[in-house]
Amino acid sequence: MTDDQTRVVTLIALFRQTAREMVDELVERLRAAGYDDTTAAHHPVFENIDPAGTPLTVLAARAGLTHQSMGELVRTLEQRGYVERRPAATDARVRLVRLTRKGRQAARRALEEIAAIEASWLERYREAGFDVDPRALLAAGLVERDGSGS
């Protein structure tokens, strides 16, 4: 039984808090590795960019951001040397956002750190008695919801 004085902690809030903590830890680790000019706000760019480059509109859609907001993030990362904008090989009218050498190095380091962060969280879940792969569980829920798993 709940009353009006009891705060309800929803699954959505727990997912959001967990994701925020994981991204914050990633940013801390990247700063320690010398990438001290990126923030959690830049994460959606790195998270959604394709190896060969991605149009800004696609980056924005994947991240659930407006074109203008994603443009600001890309502009900042471009000024800091992580990304560049280049015409697409198939259509010069389309400009792709691509990782620079520095951006690829940062992304590789981030993936290493993400693997370590995820392993730590998975160990916590196992220690708490949960023997399930959260990635598979979440992916299955997304497939069930929209049929794509993305």
d(CA 44, CA 4): 37
CA distance 95 to 78: 14
Nearest Cα to Cα of residue 45 among 17, 29, 23, 28: 23
Flag residues of the chain having pLDDT under 70. 1-3, 144-150
CB atoms inside a 10 Å sphere around CB 109: 16
Query: Average pLDDT, whole number, for the chain?
Result: 91
Convert the pLDDT of each residue in 43-63 to its tens digit.
999 999 999 999 999 999 999
